[in-house]
Structure 1
Amino acid sequence: MSYHEPIFAMSLDPAVLLDSQGVVTRVNDTWQPTFGHSADELVGQTLMGLLPRRRPNTSVAGSATSPPTASPGAAYPAPRRKR
């Protein structure tokens, strides 16, 4: 048993162990109630294959695949200084 085993097993947060190729090797018991996938379903799968696909950003002008043109902070104006 490795030194991190008790922490991994007792964590209240979902935890997953991946190999160097991104393939799931273990998940803790919190994973299934949180995400609905059992350990048997996950082990051997790539983590990226389990993530939901991104929905197209339809709020951006142009096509659904157009990248945003404004910087991330552009939606928030700079605060005004009091005089």
Structure 2
Amino acid sequence: MKNLTALAAAATMAFAFSAPAVADDHVAKSPEVVETNAKGQATKVRIEGKVYDVCMKNDQDGCINPRAAGLKWGNRPLSYWPGKPASEM
């Protein structure tokens, strides 16, 4: 019985100490706006020392989604799978 209690305590401790390492990856980014357009929307942001172009309506390649950059506008990720992949339609 002592072995089972010790094993349960060790498993709990291992989980308790490993959980924060996983959570650190999901920390919200705080962007620094480097450049804006005529409407005042950020077109370039600096995150962790690197500058990224922000995706706009006419510029979709080689850029970061505004919400992924920590801005409060842009497309939101779906919380569900909408159906079949395009390759099966």
TM-score normalised to structure 1 length: 0.24
Task: Say which structure, 1 or 2, has more relative contact order (CA 8 Å, 6+ apart).
Answer: 1
Higher strand share: 2
